[in-house]
Each structure stands twice: as structure tokens, then as C-alpha cells.
């Protein structure tokens, strides 16, 4: 048990030194992970917090490389499991100590019970000797009576010569009678004491047997606790190793992630420029005027998995604009045009994967377009007129995507805005 306790210190120190994301501008993930594995009052709260961070990380990494996303997901998963693993080690360590104390107590109890048994057995032997001696004395009186001692005593009374002699002889006979009675009483008492000693010895024997069985059971419990603690320590050590490996893998992807972030930012700006160029090229074509307050059709039957806005990647320390909302749906789910319009872009767009933009018209003096990213299939062509609700593509996970979903954008004069105010609040 002392050997196991000795193993815990270095391991818990290793947990505290697991690498974590570096501070902004540090160039990597090296650094103390004290915040990630700090022990809260309630491990369940820590787990929920880790799950929330994992969800946030998944959204922030949508534009990262697949390897980086996988590495960071593994890192977060191990971080979420560390508090529970540490609790198991602490509980197992406590169980080892408690079981050891119980085993020691049970062993001392068994030793005391065995000693009491031996003492009781010695008392029985002494009482049996007393019974034998008392029986010997009774036998002597019985032999004397049988051989005529009682007649001799009677004759002794008949030979008295005066009252004083009578009194003296009667006193002598009374002493003999009292001696006989005392011998009988001692024999009876010795027999009762011997029986009581035998009963005590049997109880002591039973207590000793029970105490020895309890000691064996407590010893087995202590061994089981030690085995459990050893397994918990091994599991925690493996978890620390896995987290270090995941951190190293994520750190190795830092340059690729930053490059891809920059490429996706440039791609979004290029798309905006292309949309404005398309408008200039078709300036002679009258654009329909859209009524303020009109709602777009939710383009896919799914659920919102990520919002529009600036997002901070806590692992690579990069702020990035998420230019739309993500609507999660299974691969191949139909994508419908949010409103009637003309297809101005349909093709590959870097991190956006298969990407389509539809120009709808003027909204408060600015050209409104909707765009659809990460499609598995594009079902329209540039210049094609589409009606609201027309099938234009299917959900996928192309480009810089970590799962099947539709990346949906609303752009005014090519610049992305939050799409939610233009969609039904239920997204249905």
C-alpha cells in the first residue's frame, strides 16, 4: 500500500504539467494546463464546462484543418476526462488506506480473541483439576462411611463419661460434618465453575474464528482496493500521455491552421469582390426591389449548430468572422433557394467547399444575396433563374468542414451580415 501511495505523487505532478494552449502570440500550445485540470467543487460542473468548451472549439475550428480539429477534439476529450480520473485515483487511494486500517484492526481483534480463547482454555483446565480434587475428597468420605467410620463415630458418642466430654465429642463430630459439607460444596462449585469456563472458552473460540475470518476478508478488501488504485493510476497515466500526444499533434498543425484561416478570410473577401463585380457587369439589368420585413425561406430542414459573428479560437488564438449560420443536417439533405433570384456563383470556393450564391434584388438600396456552403452537390448553374423553394443543392461537408451541415450566408453588396433576422424565428 505504501508503494502505491508513493506512485501517486509523481503522477499527479505529471497531470499538472500537461501542455495547454499558449498565450496569444506564443507560437504554440506549450504551457501549463493548470486551468484545464483544476479541480472544482463538483466534478459534474467541470465536465459540463469541458463539454461546452468542446462544443465551442468545434465551432471555432470549422475553418481549421481536419487534422487540427481532430487533435484539438482529442485534447478537449482528455481534458474533460481528467477530473473524473483524478477522483478515481483519490478515491482508490483512500480505499487502500481505509482497507489497510480495517485489516490491521481485524488482525488485532483476531489476535486478542485467540489469546482470550487460550486463557479460557487454561481456566477450564484449572477448573477441571479443582473438580477432580473435590471428587477425591468426596470419595475419601464415602470410603470412610462405607468402611464403618460412621459406626466408630457413633460408638465414640456412646463412650462419653460426663456432659463435658459429650460436648467435646459432639463438637468434634460437627467439625467432621462441616468438613464433609464443605467438600461437597467445593465439589459442586468446582463443577459449576468448570462448566462456566467451558462455556466461556467456546464463546472465545467462536469469536476467534469469526475475527480470523473477518481479518482474512479485510485483507482481501485491502488487496482489491490496492489493485483498483493501481488500475486507476495506470488509467490516469495513459490519459495524461494521450493528452500530451493530442496537444503535440494540435501544435504541429498550428502553421497549417493559421494559413487556412487566412486563406478563408481571403476567400470571403474574394467572394464579396466577385459579387460586386457581377453587379457592375449587370448594372444595365434592372434589379427587383425587395420589400423591407420580408422573410426568407429557411433553406434546409435541420437545426442551428453555429451562429454568425466573430469567434475566438482558444487553441490557436485567432479571431475569425463566421460569416453565416450553420444548419446541421444529414448528408444529402435538400437545400432550397431562400428566395427567388439569379445564380451568381456556383462552384468550388476554398474552405467553403461547394458554394452557391443567389442574387435576389435591392433591399433598402443594397443588393441582397444568399450563399450556401459545404454542399455535397451543386444542382444549379451561374446565370440560372431560380424560384423561392427550388432545390439548388444538397448538404455535405466539403471544404473546411468538420461535419455535415449547410453554411448559410446573407450578403449585402457582397458583405456578410447576420442571416437570422431575415429567417423565420423557428428556422422552420
Rg (C-alpha) for the chain, rounded Å, is 48
Distances in whole angstroms, Cα of residue 227 to Cα of each of 22, 35, 220: 37, 30, 10
Please report, rounded to a whole number, the percentage of residues in the chain having pLDDT higher than 90: 27
- Host H or E run for residue 386: strand 385-386
Cβ atoms 208, 110 nearer than 8 A: yes
Q: What are phi and psi of 198, to 5 degrees?
A: -65, -40
- Among 361, 363, 359, smallest CA distance to 345 is for 359
pLDDT on residue 24: 35
Kindly state the average pLDDT of the residues 364-381: 96
Report which DSSP code applies to 295: P
Distances in whole angstroms, Cα of residue 65 to Cα of each of 351, 404, 416: 10, 15, 23
Q: What are phi and psi of 356, to 5 degrees?
A: -130, 140
| Residue 386 reports pLDDT greater than 60 | yes
Q: What are phi and psi of 393, to 5 degrees?
A: 180, -175
Residue 146 C-alpha from the chain's centroid: 89
Cβ atoms 397, 375 nearer than 8 A: no
Distances in whole angstroms, Cα of residue 407 to Cα of each of 309, 332, 369: 13, 14, 14
Least confident of 32-46, 214-228, 287-301, 396-410: 32-46
Distances in whole angstroms, Cα of residue 325 to Cα of each of 54, 166, 231, 395, 427: 18, 132, 45, 14, 11
pLDDT on residue 19: 42
Pairing of β 405-412 and β 366-375: antiparallel
pLDDT tens digits for 148-177? 555 555 565 556 566 666 666 666 666 666
Kindly state the average pLDDT of the residues 374-386: 97
Q: Round to whole Å and give the CA distance between 262 and 266.
A: 6
Q: Residue length, the chain?
A: 428
pLDDT on residue 69: 64
pLDDT on residue 358: 97
Cβ atoms 308, 418 nearer than 8 A: yes
Cβ atoms 325, 308 nearer than 8 A: yes
pLDDT band per the 50, 70, 90 thresholds, residue 233: confident
Residue-averaged pLDDT of the chain:
75
Cβ atoms 303, 330 nearer than 8 A: no
pLDDT on residue 37: 32
Angle at 99 between CA 98 and CA 103, to 5 degrees: 120
pLDDT tens digits for 311-359? 877 666 778 889 999 999 999 999 999 999 999 999 999 889 999 999 9
Q: What is the pTM of this model?
A: 0.49
- Among 353, 356, 352, smallest CA distance to 379 is for 356
Amino acid at each position: 500500500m505504501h508503494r502505491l501511495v508513493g506512485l501517486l505523487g509523481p503522477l499527479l505532478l505529471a497531470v499538472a504539467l500537461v501542455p495547454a494552449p499558449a498565450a496569444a502570440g506564443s507560437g504554440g500550445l506549450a504551457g501549463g494546463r493548470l486551468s484545464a485540470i483544476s479541480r472544482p467543487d463538483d466534478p459534474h460542473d467541470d465536465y459540463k464546462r469541458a463539454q461546452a468548451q468542446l462544443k465551442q472549439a468545434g465551432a471555432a475550428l470549422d475553418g481549421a484543418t481536419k487534422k487540427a480539429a481532430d487533435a484539438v477534439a482529442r485534447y478537449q476529450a482528455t481534458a474533460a476526462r481528467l477530473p473524473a480520473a483524478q477522483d478515481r485515483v483519490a478515491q482508490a487511494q483512500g480505499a487502500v488506506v481505509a482497507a489497510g486500517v480495517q485489516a490491521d484492526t481485524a488482525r488485532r481483534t483476531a489476535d486478542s480473541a485467540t489469546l482470550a480463547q487460550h486463557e479460557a482454555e487454561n481456566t477450564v483446565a484449572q477448573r477441571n483439576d479443582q473438580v477432580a480434587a473435590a471428587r477425591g475428597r468426596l470419595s475419601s468420605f464415602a470410603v470412610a462411611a462405607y468402611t464403618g467410620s460412621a459406626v466408630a463415630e457413633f460408638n465414640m458418642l456412646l463412650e462419653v463419661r460426663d456432659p463435658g466430654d459429650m460436648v467435646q465429642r459432639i463438637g468434634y463430630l460437627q467439625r467432621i460434618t462441616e468438613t464433609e459439607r464443605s467438600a461437597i460444596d467445593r465439589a459442586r462449585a468446582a463443577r459449576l465453575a468448570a462448566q462456566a469456563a467451558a462455556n466461556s472458552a467456546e464463546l472465545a473460540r467462536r469469536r476467534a474464528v469469526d475475527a480470523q475470518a473477518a481479518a482474512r476478508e479485510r485483507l482481501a478488501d485491502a488487496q482489491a482496493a490496492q489493485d483498483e488504485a493501481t488500475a486507476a493510476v495506470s488509467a490516469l497515466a495513459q490519459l495524461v500521455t494521450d493528452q500530451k500526444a493530442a496537444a503535440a499533434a494540435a501544435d504541429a498543425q498550428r502553421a497549417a491552421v493559421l494559413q487556412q484561416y487566412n486563406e478563408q478570410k481571403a476567400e470571403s473577401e474574394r467572394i464579396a469582390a466577385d459579387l460586386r463585380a457581377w453587379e457592375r457587369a449587370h448594372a444595365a439589368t434592372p434589379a427587383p426591389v425587395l420589400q423591407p420585413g420580408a422573410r426568407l425561406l429557411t433553406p434546409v430542414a435541420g437545426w442551428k449548430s453555429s451562429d454568425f459573428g466573430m469567434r475566438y479560437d482558444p487553441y490557436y488564438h485567432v479571431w475569425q468572422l463566421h460569416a453565416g449560420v450553420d444548419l446541421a443536417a444529414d448528408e444529402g439533405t435538400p437545400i432550397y433557394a431562400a428566395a427567388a433570384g439569379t445564380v451568381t456563383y456556383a462552384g468550388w470556393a476554398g474552405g467553403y467547399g461547394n458554394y452557391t450564391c443567389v442574387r435576389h434584388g435591392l433591399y433598402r438600396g443594397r443588393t441582397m444575396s444568399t450563399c450556401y456552403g459545404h454542399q455535397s452537390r451543386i444542382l444549379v448553374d451561374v446565370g440560372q433563374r431560380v424560384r423561392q423553394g427550388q432545390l439548388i443543392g444538397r448538404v455535405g461537408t466539403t471544404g473546411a468542414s468538420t461535419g455535415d451541415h449547410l453554411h448559410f450566408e446573407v450578403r449585402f453588396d457582397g458583405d456578410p451580415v447576420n442571416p437570422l433576422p431575415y429567417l423565420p424565428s423557428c428556422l422552420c
